[in-house]
Amino acid sequence: MKYNILFGGKAGQGANILTHLLAESLVEEGYYVFYYRDYQSLIRGGHGFNVLTFSDKPVHSHDSKVDVIVALDKNTVDKHQKNLKKGGVLIEGKDANMYFAGRMFKALGLPLKLLDKRLKKMKRYGENIKDVQRGYEYQSTVNSQQSMVLNIPKVQKAKRTFSSGSVGVAEGAVKSGIDNYFAYPMTPATAVLGELAQRQKEYGHLVLELENEIAVANAGAGSAITGAKTMVGTSGGGFCLMTEALSMCGISKIPLVFYLAQRAGPASGVATYNAQADLHMARHAGHGEFPRLVLAPGDPVEAQEITSQIFYLTQKFGVPGILISDKHLAESYYTTEHKPVITKVGHLTKFGRYTSYEQDPTTGSGTEDADVIIANVNERKKRWDALRAECEKFEGYKIYGKKNSKNCIVFWGSPKGAILDAIKGMDVCAIQILYVEPFPKKVGTILKKKDKIVAVENNATGQLCDVIREHTGMLIKDKILRYDARPFLCDELVKKFGRIFK
């Protein structure tokens, strides 16, 4: 059993809170829930929609065809009716979002108390609960057909977490003992800024918004050399402004964590939409040659784990680390069962004399001496090797599906959800790369045993394929690339995989 419900309306009408309340209630009832947010870069009006998918089995993605459309405006009907399945239900009308919440709770047979207790924590409880009741009663009167579709089977209750990739990064950071987080707002990185800001009271770290990303990255470097565990966050455009400081971290052994949440680019691109097109930037940003980390989680649990690993590795090796996410992972909500494994690290960095110049280690000053330069470069190369060796101890890649199948999918980051949901029952394995830099050694050996390899990426060129070629010499020709700034959907991938892996 799996249902997709689409909520659509103008920005400001409250489709988000409606989606979130329903999602949380379904999770509490024991269902697995995922929802995707699709919204424009505007504050009021326009068109935005969310797709909530729930099931009695784990689900991490949504589909293009939906069972129910909840339309808060006429535009939603016009735009999405073509995606409504045969026999699907359209719930529409000119009313408040909480009226629709009432209707959905009735249609899904959910106990109202789940909604009531959440509304009590929000503003305007009185008004909201009235709207809910009106909707609930109305839904009781409409024809049975509407409720039949949604006559969902009851499931066993279970304690699960419901969170986004941004929540994962923030939780991972506080569990790693973050001291300072600096940022300048930029979608889709801003959610981490908010999540960390809200956790200051509880955990005692500091969140500061500075004048621009250049300030953010340089302040990050300044903070990190004193020994404070420090992270900075941004999206592609802001990251471009940070790259000179990234390079400084590279030469001066500064353990700064960069959170890079990708959106569709280039330049200002498509501000609130998704892409995975900044992998090469993350790998190559900053002038000169220096060791770095580029780590890519694919769901909120991995976001926590990888965030803790990047704090550990940057502290231990005095290197900058880039934690690369994207809009889809950062802003979609996932039901998670597994407790993340957090890698702990102390404050390993000692304050001393740091410089953006090549450094004479006897004075801490800059140097132009050829022998010292060679020694420094060799030291960086040695540290790079040590970092590579240490990274092999972590799960730099994961294999899903039929592990021994000759058919293979390779991917990184947020496509994970749709891929895992799509390959169920197929004769295929899926390999996820979490450590892009340093790249896990064993991946080449595994890939060489496969007959058919298909890469799935949210970009136009297949950047992971380039990375794999660089490290293994293997040329991956078959690619499913999506570059319309939208994430992969489960039902669409099922069709595509079906054609390729018969």
Partner 1 sequence: MKAKKTQTADSKPQTANINTATPMTWCPGCYNFQILAGVKNYFSSELKKGKSKEDFAICSGIGCQGKIFDYINLNGLNTLHGRELPTSLGIKMGNPNLDVYAFIGDGGCFNEGVSHLVHAARENVDITCIVHNNQVFALTVGQPTGLTEQGFVDKTTPEGVTVKPFNPLKLVLSANATFVARVFADVKQVEWVLNEAKKHKGFKFIEIIQPCIIFHPDVGYKDYVHEIPKSHDVTDFYKAMKLIDDWDYNGIKKGDKINTGIFYKVKRETILDKHWQLKGLVKDKKQWKDRK
Binding residues vs partner 1 (CB under 8 A) = 179-180, 182, 200, 204-206, 208, 210-212, 214-216, 218-230, 244-245, 248, 252-253, 318, 346-347, 350-357, 359-366
Kindly calculate the radius of gyration of the chain based on its CA atoms and give it in whole angstroms. Answer: 24
Nearer to partner 1, 350 or 502 (CB): 350
Rounded to whole angstroms, the Cα distance separating 218 from 216 reads: 6
In angstroms, give the least distance from the CB of 456 to partner 1: 39
DSSP notation for 220-282: HHHHHHTT--EEEEE-HHHHHHHHHHHHHHHHHT---EEEEEE-B-STT-BTTS-----HHHH
Give, to the nearest 10 degrees, the angle between helix 97-108 and helix 125-141: 50
Dihedral, 193, 321, 319, 387 alpha carbons, nearest 10: 150
Residue in 324, 229, 326, 319 with CA at minimum distance from that of residue 270: 326
Q: Quote the CA–CA distance of 172 and 165 in Å, as a whole number.
A: 10
Name the amino acid, one letter, at 135: G
Q: Which is nearer to partner 1, 172 or 417 (CB)?
A: 172
Q: Which is nearer to partner 1, 224 or 294 (CB)?
A: 224
Shortest CB 339 distance to partner 1, Å: 23
Q: What is the closest distance, in whole angstroms, from the C-beta atom of residue 6 to partner 1 in the complex?
A: 43
| Alpha-carbon distance values, 484 to 241, 269, 366 (Å) | 26, 11, 48
Non-local (6+) Cβ contacts of 468 within 8 A are 410, 433, 443, 444, 447, 455, 474, 476
| Closer residue to partner 1 (CB): 316 or 402 | 316
* Contact predicate 7/13, CB 8 Å: no
Q: How far is the CB of 11 from partner 1 (least distance, A)?
A: 31
What are the start-end ranges of the H helices in 85-181? 97-108, 112-119, 125-141, 144-149, 165-175
Residue (222 or 444) nearer to partner 1, CB: 222
Distances (CA, A) of 105 to 26, 118, 498: 10, 13, 36
Question: How is residue 308 written in tokens?
Answer: 């803790």
Phi/psi of residue 94, each to 5°? -90, 100
User: What's the min distance (Å) between Cβ of 221 and partner 1?
Assistant: 6
Closer CB to partner 1, residue 134 or residue 383?
A: 383
Q: Which residue lies nearer to partner 1 by CB, 182 or 394? A: 182
Of 229 and 263, which has the nearer Cβ to partner 1?
229
Q: Which residue's CB is nearer to partner 1, number 244 or number 395?
A: 244
Min dist CB 246 to partner 1, Å, is 11
3-state secondary structure (DSSP) of residue 149:
helix
Nearest to partner 1 of 31, 317 (CB atom): 317
Angstrom CA distances, 347 to 61, 256, 344, stand at: 38, 13, 10
Nearest approach, Cβ of residue 167 and partner 1 (Å): 21
CB of 226 to partner 1, least distance (A): 3
Closest CB to partner 1 among residues 147, 367: 367
β-partners of residue 8 are 49, 71
**Residue closer to partner 1, measured from CB, 182 or 412:** 182
Return d(Cα 115, Cα 112) in angstroms, integer: 5
In the complex, minimum distance from the CB of residue 182 to partner 1, in angstroms, rounded to a whole number: 7
> Smallest gap, in angstroms, from Cβ of residue 223 to partner 1?
4
d(CA 417, CA 63): 11
Measured from the CB of residue 194, what is the shortest distance to partner 1 in angstroms? 17
Distance in angstroms (rounded) separating the CA atoms of residues 391 and 316 = 11
Helix 15-29 to helix 97-108 angle (10° resolution) is: 30
Task: Give min distance, CB of 317 to partner 1, in A.
Answer: 13
Q: What length does the chain have?
A: 502
- The type of residue at 129 is I
| Minimum gap (Å) between residue 346 Cβ and partner 1 | 7
- Between 157 and 287, CB nearer to partner 1: 287
